[in-house]
Structure 1
Amino acid sequence: MGMQSMVDFKWPGLARPDGERIIMNSGAFVAVDRYRDISYDPIYRPQALYHRALEGLRANNDAFLLQEVATNLPIYRDDTGPTDFHLHLPPGGFQLVLVTSGLFTFDYDGKVHYVGPGAVMLQSAIVHRQLFYTWAGLSTEENLKTPQSVVPDPLCMGYSGKFIEAFITDPTTFPNPTVVGSDHIKEDETPRTAWKHPLHNRPAGASFWFQDPLALDALFRAYPADAADGPVRAASPVHVRDLGIEAPSGNLVTGHIIATDPRGASLLPKNASAKADAEGLAKGEVVIYRIIRGTAAFADGSGKPLELATGDTVTAGKGAIRLTDVGEDTQILRLGLLKGIEDLRMWTPTQRDEIDALAGQIITRADLRSDRVAGKPVGYLYE
């Protein structure tokens, strides 16, 4: 795709979603997606198997989707390989990626990111591409059983690439246009291209966010004794990592990892002199807990226990559950969905189809960078 193919395209009525408002479930509901009951499906491409937390999605009025993506085929096959250049346009411009095993290379608006377990990326409405992923050569059954982690330990880095992904609403309900198809990518030019387009749909202040799992702001801190849910029982100290996504998301979603070390070991990179922010851990009109590894227990308003294990997800209304117990060598993703989500609208089916059909015509500006890892992208994230 050369520079000459860029056009100044105008289409009134497609700049913002014009559908129904998003309304989260305000009741004291509890929805559980058990790992034993789920299936993995190649929804979009053959090398990626998707496990979707559908019980939580439906119980929360289809407002927020959490899913696991598991790489299951080698990258060198004719029907796999790098993806095309595409973008997602969810309400609020919200897409979260948390890598949990293996290694990936992503291109976000012409800039390359090499990422492994624990890396966090928050982005949307930006042209991107998956360039590389690891595959361990295991059978599908064994591949899906491999351990996951938010800490870049060598064991998990050697497995097939997996990540946890989240969107506001279901990706089938918003535009996901392809900008440059795989067969039309010129490797000496297109991967260095940074694109700009007008379909942003993001709150003021929202921006691209990348957090390295070994960065200072990603260090685990002590679980606060004054947490709103009260103390948590565990055989070893409980720690918290703030994913830092609240401000970059435009104050739509908070994100934390609640974790413990394996018995007799110190796996989590820590800031031993600080404790986690209790206020941040209390946020969420709706909360989602995903057990990445280990075990955890919760209690509802009546004190009834709920026990979860690796791969399980619980979605609950505000105050409907509280975390009571965390097992050894456990890692839990906690997402708090904030009130601002209900200020958003969905794309209408007509808008979605029109934007998908536009594909590369939505690009209004393109710059080539001399170096893949330097320079300022022209995408919406930086302007």
Structure 2
Amino acid sequence: MNVHAAGDLKTTGLTHPNGAPLRLNAQDFVAIDRDKDAKFEATYRPQALYNRANEGFHANNETFLLHEVATNLPIYRPDTGPTDFHLHLPPGGFQLVLVTSGAFTFDYDGRWYNVGPGAVMLQSAIVHRQLFYTWSGLPTEENLKTPQTVVPDPISMGYSGKFLEAFITDPTTFPNPTIVGPDQINEDETPRVAWSHPLHDRPTDAGFWLQDPLALDALYKPLTDGSVKSAQQVYVRDIGIEIPSGHLVTGYVIATDPRGHALLPKSTSATADASCFAKGEVVIYRVIRGSAEFKKKDSERFELSAGDVVTAGKDAISLVGLAENTHLLRLGLLKDINDLRSWTPTQRDEIDGLASQIITQRDIRPLRTEGKPVGYLYA
């Protein structure tokens, strides 16, 4: 993603990020990104269009970025296809992916994951690549309007692959080194042991997390306290990212079924913990499908529709209503983000310049499905 500068593994004196400290916006602010104003741009790769929640990003001191990634070209073109092996090194190592349509195959540290709508992946500085994605063949404008969901079904999996992706700070400001280029990848061997160097401030507990949308820990639990009004029962799914993110971010999907159709996989043995709505020094809501109503502290109400995002201070808004057949992502940004610092431009370029030197050993695995992904750049 970044311009690579020359780097020397043996002489670099880099330690931890030593740039400006990160600061969540502690004010009662409300910033809305409307889908009607969305700008989809091929920022990093020609096959993917990125739609950034820029209003929220800037209002929150450019500390946390949420964007939608929409696949827009077939995989068989010479300038698209599988990616290289690479790393993302945002402050705290945080990268979140929530698939909302189509299907993908991701390779994390040599282990393949076939995922569809509703799958959640969170990783902290792990060597990875994207191997496969679906493309609908529709023209761009039609492709961008196909519905999104967090429930896997045959129709949604036939669309072009899309996902929501989140980073702490902007991907252009932190290292994204290419480890193995696409022309040098040997499918019979897998990078396994990487450069061990105290280069990154990954928090305690941070690592790799995958939640399948049909797993037991992904079941939707009914919200019974009456805080969110709806003609349909409101359900909550904990996407499980608080601990594996290093206690930086919490995540929940709040949803309702279509009228007369039980779509959401549900738990019958527990109810949702309403305290999830209190988590976060800053909160972000993104409507994946349907619509939701919110109330500001002064009692002013506003509505968000599919594709809209609101970023707000801790107590600046509350969710008060959901339409039927609505899927809503809620992210709570925790105070530990304020303990992180950004990479300086010099640090970023030096790490990018190290590129393939980061890998120091390769192991051939009997089966690619053996073993869990490991964090790289850590002793």
TM-score by length of 2: 0.94
Aligned 8 A contact 2:177 2:351 in 1? yes
Matched with 1:223 is: 223
Structure 2 letter corresponding to 1:122: L
TM-score by length of 1: 0.93
Structure 2 letter corresponding to 1:357: G
2:351 aligned residue (335, 348, 355):
355
Matched with 1:176 is: 176
Matched with 1:248 is: 244
Gap runs ≥5 in structure 2: 1-7
Aligned 8 A contact 1:239 1:259 in 2? yes
Distance in structure 1 (CA, Å) of the matches to 2:371 and 2:269: 37
Change (3 A) 1:318 1:379: closer
Structure 2 letter corresponding to 1:48: A
Q: CA deviation at 1:277?
A: 1.7
Structure 2 letter corresponding to 1:28: D
Q: CA deviation at 1:106?
A: 0.4
Q: CA deviation at 1:11?
A: 4.6
Matched with 1:261 is: 257
Matched with 1:328 is: 324
Distance in structure 2 (CA, Å) of the matches to 1:14 and 1:145: 45
Change (3 A) 1:377 1:156: closer
Matched with 2:274 is: 278
Q: What is the aligned-residue identity percentage?
A: 68
Could you report, residue by residue, the CA deviation over 1:274-306 in whole angstroms, capped at 9, with x for unpaired residues?
111222331000000000000001010010011
Q: CA deviation at 1:232?
A: 1.0
Structure 2 counterparts to residues 148-159 of structure 1, below 5 A: 148-159=148-159
Q: CA-atom RMSD, angstroms?
A: 1.7
Distance in structure 2 (CA, Å) of the matches to 1:329 and 1:362: 46
2:311 aligned residue (311, 315, 325):
315
Structure 2 counterparts to residues 40-189 of structure 1, below 5 A: 40-189=40-189
Aligned 8 A contact 1:87 1:124 in 2? no
Structure 1 letter corresponding to 2:160: S
Distance in structure 2 (CA, Å) of the matches to 1:378 and 1:56: 32
Could you report, residue by residue, the CA deviation over 1:150-173 in whole angstroms, capped at 9, with x for unpaired residues?
110111111110000000001011
Could you report, residue by residue, the CA deviation over 1:58-95 in whole angstroms, capped at 9, with x for unpaired residues?
00000000000000010001110000110100000100
Change (3 A) 1:380 1:142: same
Secondary structure at the aligned position of 2:270 is classed as strand
Distance in structure 1 (CA, Å) of the matches to 2:194 and 2:186: 19
Matched with 2:4 is: none
- Structure 1 ranges of 4+ moved more than 6 A: none
Change (3 A) 1:281 1:196: farther
Distance in structure 2 (CA, Å) of the matches to 1:271 and 1:261: 14
Matched with 2:14 is: 14
Matched with 1:4 is: none
Aligned 8 A contact 2:121 2:208 in 1? yes
Aligned 8 A contact 1:195 1:379 in 2? no
Q: CA deviation at 1:376?
A: 4.6
- Number of aligned residue pairs: 371
Change (3 A) 1:95 1:320: same
Q: CA deviation at 1:14?
A: 2.0
Secondary structure at the aligned position of 1:123 is classed as strand
Structure 2 counterparts to residues 270-309 of structure 1, below 5 A: 270-309=266-305
Aligned 8 A contact 2:126 2:374 in 1? no
Gap runs ≥5 in structure 1: 1-7
Aligned 8 A contact 1:256 1:281 in 2? no
Aligned 8 A contact 1:173 1:352 in 2? yes
Distance in structure 1 (CA, Å) of the matches to 2:157 and 2:102: 4
Q: CA deviation at 1:131?
A: 0.3
Aligned 8 A contact 1:207 1:382 in 2? no
Change (3 A) 1:270 1:11: farther
Distance in structure 2 (CA, Å) of the matches to 1:63 and 1:106: 26
- Between 1:268-277 and 1:309-318, the stretch displaced more is 268-277
Q: CA deviation at 1:188?
A: 3.0
Matched with 1:5 is: none
Aligned 8 A contact 1:208 1:381 in 2? no
Matched with 1:194 is: 192
Distance in structure 2 (CA, Å) of the matches to 1:301 and 1:283: 17
Secondary structure at the aligned position of 2:276 is classed as helix
